[in-house]
Chain A
Amino acid sequence: MSNFPFLSVLTVAPLVGALVVAFLPRHRPELAKQVAFAWSLLVLVLSVVMWASFNAGGDRFQFRESYSWIPNWGVSFTFAADGIALVMLMLIAVLVPLVILASWHDAESSKRSVPVYFALLLALECTMIGVFAAADVFLFYVFFEVMLVPMYFLIGSYGGHQRQYAAVKFFLYSLVGGLFMLAAVIGLWVVGGKTFDWQALSQVDISTGTERWLFLGFFLAFAIKAPFFPFHTWLPDAGGAAPAGAAALLVGVLDKVGTFGILRYCLPLFPEASKWFAPWALALGVIGIVYAALLAVGQNDLKRLVSYTSIAHFGFIGVGIFAFTTQAGTGAVLYMLNHGLATGLLFLVVGMLISRRGSALISDFGGAGKLVPLLAGVLFFAGLASLALPGTAPFISEFLVLIGTFTVNKPVAVIATLGIILAAAYVLWMVQRTTQGTLNPALTEVDGMRRDLNLREKAVVAPLIALIVLLGFYPKPVTDVINPAVQATMDDIGKSDPAPSVGTVQEAHR
């Protein structure tokens, strides 16, 4: 079964689905939804099979496929997945069906074609899978850029208030980053002997000066994508304007491309430059954690608030990556997965609240828990997961990042810990102002607020809650897959963990 071309099939399948859905008659929206949902379930099933046939202890890159594309430039369709990519592919496969289910009625309010909305979601899935599955730098770049197009139309055509502004801002920010990366990609191609194959390029020796410039080109693109402070300003606008489902994918998956890119491209291809820039990257991460958390506390718009929380979380991931220890690295990758689940859930739940109330402002809520207890409960749970309460999955990743960082860089770890406290502040205060306290009388007049979660919505949140709890108590299946990949990445940059990192128990014995 491991000879099955999983990655190319996974990439192409959603695209075929998107085309099918796009050409369904516009007046049969229900059919389009069902086909899109069934298609995304198909992709999920395939991904699960792929996960099962991944050999955690085997080669670093598995499911490798390569087909010639533009031989003149040494470009090929090369797909391969390491543990990190596998986890992200799984996250996409899980989130997309849930997002489709959650957005069942979102497109109807926009007066625009419903089938196109779901076709765009599937097209987005295709590009997201492609970007994580690519093992050819050119191919990666292609998916990295093309990914913008469906997201642009999702935000621009189906978004809420200020959607045009947000869509253009999102597109331009990403495009600017992408073009810097293009310059670096061409540079890498030239110094690498005109090949784009990741494995060949990771063996190339590059002079220090060139390496730093190339690193910057890639890093800038990824830092904008992730986004890291100070390149984050597009995310609250895009997240705030996007329909909830698209926002969940934007923050849950799309932004992970940035951190994934750093792990896959910046560190192994430019090891010396990565070490040289690491202090700066750590500084950006730490500033992001504190600054975004403070801004999140002050938000009155639910979706913007969630966007800011996720910028803070990306600060954690950045710190975990640039701490250069296996623990922190594993924590960062695990964080990428858990953040996708937790923030995805949070965005979807917030979307359910907003569509009921018809407003995204926290001040328009108040005591909503009395009207929709189940929804309020789920919001509370999603909030707790987002602030990394022990017992939820994000706790493990945040903890791993912090102890992994603490062994090598105490000040950073200590400041980052502040982020946890601030996270408690913005989450709990948000939950309190929306669902607790005295009932806002305006709420009772809104029809939507009298309906608690229906079956469809329960089906959306249940798997995510189950996964968050499950991975909170038993993350081993995931860490087993991530660990070797992170270890290999650390080997690439020639960093080994400091001796006592796991030896504290032994020290106590001595």
Chain B
Amino acid sequence: MTELKLPSLDYAALAPILIMLGTALLGVLVEAFVPRRSRHLVQLTLALLAVLAALTMVVFNADDRMLTAGRALAVDGPTLFLQGAILVLAAMALLLIGDRSVERGGAFVAQAAVTAESADDRRQAEGRNGLTEVYPLTTFAIGGMLIFVAANDLLTMFIALEVFSLPLYLLCALARRRRLLSQEAAMKYFLLGAYASAFFLFGVALIYGFTAGIPGRTAGVDFATINAAVSESPASPVLLFAGMALLAIGLLFKAAAAPFHVWTPDVYQGAPTPVTGFMAACTKVAAFGALLRVFHVAFADAGWDFTPVLGAVAVLTMLVGAVLAVTQTDIKRLLAYSSIANAGYLLVGVLAPSRDGLSGTMFYLVAYGFSVLAAFAVVTLVRDADGEATHLSHWAGLGRRSPFFAGLFTFILLAFAGIPLTSGFTSKFAIFGPALAEGQTWLVIAGVLTSMVLAFPYLRVVVLMWLSEPGESTPTVTVPGGLTSAALMIGVLATLVLGIAPAPLLDLAAGAAEFVR
């Protein structure tokens, strides 16, 4: 009888994950035991404290380079950097989620089960306090993301994928206004996400089959085994290619890369705006963290095989995102397509398999996360009687009505357009430079060309805000409360600082840019 051996756990290294998941469970208990009045405050404080504690542990672990939990999790430079990024961005997102000053009762529905558009629904929209379940859901999602970027085998990765996806599906459905749109978004996201997960799982199975049959090794889906199998396995490479393709579909879906992007505009538009910001920033980090690890660690030696395919996906993603952004009339959809195009740029970084490429991609993820959260923070502020005024025609002349917020938004848009002295420029450079050095000239040229196309929609918004006369329907900008202001200012300042003095973060990323294998 073989004795079951428990893997050794390095609790300190796992602390950030444990803290987030533990807090999520605690949050569920809070829902049960704390009186309704004080739940919001308790939950928000709890979630923020947990993020802070987890971040402290990440900083405390900064020098860890190890595999733990039976080689299922890697706590190394990229993991810690990306975990830190997710936590910082999640803290900003939590500030947006927790804000109840912009809209009475917050951005979330008070009773999700009420039939949309019914009389009950209209009553609940009139200012009853929103659900506080969003906090445990968000903390679960954050915890899942922390595992996702640390996962060192495909099964752990899959579980992490589900742990952070399921809460997100729910969160999408909880918008206070435009309930139907919100529910439709959640449904779409859930169905397509389930497909993507299935693809991913099927890919895992194929890869498992591929790793079987190496003399002297057992089959497995941990990255070291896969890496060894890529160069040694006698099995047909068809298994490898099919497996890689299916895995890539699952991951590229989360990353919102074309042609797996179709959910993005609908979901970004329908979801409550703070959740959209959370997805645009944190999900992106998590998805690309996983992509980087899978393709740089597990399939590192199959670079010749996947680079052309991923390159084509990158070009397609940049093109689709940039071209379709031009035609958008809704600010949230515009930002969604911009997020798709940015996924394309990030893929260029993934395809630069050097230390510089890795650190550049990680830098980009952080820089973009800050900017996009700030952008969605502004979106929550521009409101008329029906809630957020997301149609672009309503933004005409906003610069006259509220020059301060329009100015901030203009700055963010210039950053998206890659104008120097913003993080948008430095991060593009951080990706295109290494990509060119690795010989991906055509990808860089495609990136530059699509940047030109993409500049147009951003510029159109700037023109609308500043150069058009305010119309009857120009909404006012709500003066935000402390939480949203804090998130907005952090995002804008980070965009500025990372544009002017990116060296510290670049150093940090460069120091972290090595995977433990």
Contacts and interface: CB of A to CB of B under 8 A. Distances in A.
Interface in B419-453: 419-421, 425-426, 428-429, 432-433, 436-437, 441, 444-445, 448-449, 451-452
B455 interface: yes
A149 interface: yes
A168 B464 CA distance: 11
Given A142-B421, A156-B466, A175-B417, A187 B507 contact: no
B353 to A, nearest CB: 16
- Tier of interface size on chain B: 35 or more
A426 to B, nearest CB: 32
B455 A189 contact: no
B433 A190 contact: yes
B465 to A, nearest CB: 11
B510 interface: yes
A72 B507 contact: yes
Interface stretch (A177-185, A225-233, A272-280): A177-185
B419 A186 contact: no
A187 B435 CA distance: 10
Contacts of B455: 171-172, 175
Interface of B: 414, 417-421, 425-426, 428-429, 432-433, 436-437, 441, 444-445, 448-449, 451-452, 455-456, 459-460, 463, 466-468, 501-503, 506-507, 510
Contacts of B501: 69-70
A70 B445 contact: no
A167 B464 CA distance: 12
Given A72-B510, A176-B452, A179-B448, A149 B467 contact: no
A52 B359 CA distance: 47
A156 B421 contact: no
A70 B503 contact: yes
Contacts of A164: 463, 467-468
Contact of A190 (B436, B451, B466): B436
A175 B452 contact: yes
Contacts of A146: 419-421
Nearest to A71: B503
A153 interface: yes
Contacts of A189: 433
B129 to A, nearest CB: 40
Give the 3 A-B CB pairs with smallest separation, nearest first: A142-B420, A72-B506, A183-B448
Contact of B420 (A145, A156, A157, A167): A145
A183 B426 CA distance: 13
Interface in A124-148: 141-143, 145-146, 148
B467 A73 contact: no
Nearest to A68: B503
Contacts of A264: none
A357 interface: no
Contacts of B445: 183
A179 B451 contact: yes
Interface string A337-368: 00000000000000000000000000000000
A167 B437 contact: no
A145 B426 CA distance: 13
Nearest to B455: A175
Contacts of B426: 70
A256 interface: no
A33 interface: no
Contacts of A179: 418, 448-449, 451-452
A186 B436 contact: yes
A172 B510 CA distance: 34
A304 interface: no
A313 interface: no
A157 B436 contact: no
A303 interface: no
Given A69-B503, A72-B507, A157-B466, A187 B420 contact: no
A186 B421 contact: no
A145 B428 CA distance: 14
Nearest to B428: A182
B459 A186 contact: no
A172 B451 CA distance: 11
A70 B506 CA distance: 9
Interface in A73-102: 73
Given A172-B456, A190-B433, A167 B417 contact: no
A138 to B, nearest CB: 8
Contacts of A168: 459-460, 463
Given A70-B506, A167-B467, A145 B448 contact: no
Contacts of B441: 187
Contacts of A149: 414, 419
B429 to A, nearest CB: 7
A172 B454 CA distance: 11
A114 to B, nearest CB: 14
Given A72-B502, A72-B510, A175-B455, 18 more contacts: A69-B501, A73-B429, A143-B420, A145-B420, A146-B421, A153-B466, A164-B468, A167-B463, A167-B467, A171-B459, A179-B448, A179-B451, A182-B418, A186-B432, A186-B436, A187-B441, A190-B433, A190-B437
Contacts of B419: 145-146, 148-149
Nearest to B469: A111
A164 B466 CA distance: 10
A183 B441 CA distance: 9
Nearest to A175: B455
19 contacts: A70-B501, A73-B433, A73-B506, A141-B420, A142-B420, A149-B414, A149-B419, A164-B468, A171-B459, A172-B452, A172-B459, A175-B452, A179-B418, A179-B448, A183-B432, A183-B448, A186-B444, A190-B433, A190-B437
